[in-house]
A and B are shown apart, each in its own frame.
Chain A
Amino acid sequence: MTTISAAQKRNSRRAKKKTAVPYSKQVRGKDYFWVYLFLTPFVVLYLGFTIWPLFATVIYSFFEWDGIKPLEDFVGLENFVTIAKDPLFWLSFRNTLVFALVNTAVKIPLSLLMAILLTRKWLWGKRFFRTVYFAPLVIPVAMAGLIFSLLLHPANGAVNDMLVSAGLVAKPIDFLGDERLALLSLILVSVWQIFGQYMIYWMAALQNVPEDLYEAAELDGANEWAKLIYVTLPVIKPVAVVIVFLAFVNALRVFGLVVTMTGGGPGFQTYVVPYFIYTQALVDFPFRYGYASAAAVLFGATVLLAVMLQGHFVRRSGE
């Protein structure tokens, strides 16, 4: 008798605890096995390729290490002290942030405008134009970099040929060799390359604006501009926040363009953090794995902080 009542008590307690979970969402019997089996492939790879690397990067950053020998030369915070005084790291850091901010500030509004235009019902040749503006995305980013290093070449590049023969400049511009222009050139080429992706994001967001809202606005006498400000933008705002986040964080990954277009030059003027990490750990001899890891830790922590702050302010403004 006592065992039955204990079981009943346990059951009733469990029932009380789970009242919030609908019956069909509860896991029963051998379904437990299936649920955990279904989780396994993702979770294993996720632990291996995301969670463990996070911890490992932090651990490596406390060692003087070339990535090959056993990990035994513990140096404490020395890597961080050195990096705090490394002008090349801070230059890379600044360049990465400038790149990501300007890149996002240019591509987000432009791609939104284009998406609005290319989703108008009355527009001729939508399919053709969408393909045209999407096209740069299908070139691997490194190839785009090489093509532009030819097009922007000061001696015989097509862009300078046009500018000079149109009489816009007196002598060719060295877009990638000039200290002040190199980073800007990278930013604009990157906008050109990635534009289509954000155009598609916006087009997807715009598709979810209910058509009857526009009809109602039209009845109230709204023109295209008013419809944009008072109907489209408020409706897509939640998605827009996510798109801007993605845009910024993806821009922080800049690597291929730098490798193929400038190699960090002229001098070190276009070094960015991913390129800094790559050269320190795997290219420049002697390999400084621990040092590069310290750079990664500092960079990752800053990005995370920036994203969290941004998220905080977005949530606040939404309330």
Chain B
Amino acid sequence: MVHSLSVNQLQRIEAFVNKILRNRYNRYNLIAAGLLLIIGFIWIYPFLWVLFASFKTSSEMFSAGAKLLPETWDFENFSRAWTKANFSAYFLNTVLYAVSATAIELVKSSMCGYALGRYRFPGRNLILGLITATLFIPIAAIILPQFQLVRSLGLLNTRAGVILALSGGAGALYVLLFTGFFQTLPDELFESARLDGASFFQTFRLMLPLSKPIIATVVIFQFMRTWNEFNIPLVFTLGRPELRNMAVGMYAFRGEFSVDWTGFAAGTAISIIPVLLVFFIFQGYFVRGLSGAVKQ
């Protein structure tokens, strides 16, 4: 109701708007934030679509087209995905694979990077050279012998086998990051640790916390990689469906459950919301950790 505003009020609103527009950063913001909102909506439209589809009945899901909101809210999809479609097991597998592969990766790459960065010894250049040379080998080129190796260890179609394959092949890049970091630590630091009588292992325990940016980077990279991994869990659990992670399990979903798409949507919603929350909260560390690593 514009006419109910007094002239005085209108003037005050105009003054306020002018005050905002006078600052050039506010003007930038109106354009940039506006654009980012519109593109952002398109960007996360697939998420919204899945999220709302998980409340729809399957007939509505296919007739709704681009429409987002369901006509009736149906919560039954979630319980069906969680129990009947084995989704809870897939979820737990995914968490187990991602957490253990990340932990193994962190331990082995920090130890190796510490030895390579801190000391000069016979064989050091050979190891560094090999790692650098194989950094860019595509996984597809070597997955078949990895499969044979895990099979000959008797670990095919076991959780241990998947974890081993996930953490065995990766890590060259992480070792280089740790090596670079420990190389740049000043010698005086190690010297004073030695004078205090610290043993090799005690010194390592003192120095490791200094590499927090690298640790953050490795954890984030490896966790994301293993959380999303499809090729390795698919190939290494061909014979035991109950060992699948979510990515592979969801793929099988369409074959085994006569395409229960709303159940699939519910399962997807369950799996992505916790990770998004984690990112929303920790994104500061994420970027800072990575830029700390880049600086090395």
Contacts and interface: CB of A to CB of B under 8 A. Distances in A.
Contacts of A233: none
A161 B66 contact: yes
Interface string A1-44: 00000000000000000000111111100111011101101110
B169 A49 contact: yes
Contact-size category for B = 35 or more
Contacts of A30: 200
A259 to B, nearest CB: 7
B293 A143 contact: no
B96 interface: no
A31 B200 contact: yes
B276 interface: yes
Contact of A45 (B167, B288, B290): B167
Contact-size category for A = 35 or more
Given A24-B190, A143-B250, A245 B136 contact: yes
Contact of A130 (B44, B141, B245, B283): B283
Interface in A78-108: none
A256 interface: yes
B266 interface: no
A260 B120 CA distance: 48
B130 A26 contact: no
B50 interface: yes
A41 B111 contact: yes
A181 interface: no
A123 B293 contact: no
A203 interface: yes
Contacts, number: 282
Nearest to A49: B168
Contact of B140 (A133, A197, A299): A299
B32 A274 contact: no
Contacts of B66: 158-159, 161-162, 165
Nearest to B35: A117
Interface string A127-167: 10111111111111111101110110000111101100100
A45 B168 contact: yes
Contact of B43 (A27, A35, A136, A252): A136
B181 interface: no
A35 B272 contact: no
A293 B144 CA distance: 8
Contact of B168 (A48, A255, A260): A48
Contact of A49 (B62, B149, B287): B149
Given A204-B290, A208-B294, A24 B168 contact: no
B247 interface: yes
A27 B238 contact: no
Contacts of A134: 279, 283
B136 A249 contact: yes
Given A25-B120, A140-B247, A67 B290 contact: no
Nearest to B109: A42
B162 interface: no
A52 to B, nearest CB: 7
The 9 A-B pairs at the shortest CB distance, nearest first, are namely A161-B65, A49-B168, A300-B141, A140-B247, A53-B145, A204-B290, A274-B140, A122-B25, A56-B145
27 contacts: A25-B118, A32-B121, A34-B201, A35-B119, A38-B114, A39-B112, A46-B171, A49-B149, A50-B137, A57-B144, A57-B145, A127-B280, A134-B283, A136-B46, A139-B272, A143-B268, A147-B50, A158-B65, A161-B65, A203-B291, A208-B291, A239-B294, A252-B140, A255-B231, A296-B140, A299-B140, A300-B138
Given A135-B44, A304-B137, 10 more contacts: A25-B187, A42-B111, A43-B127, A49-B149, A54-B134, A131-B280, A143-B247, A158-B49, A277-B143, A296-B144
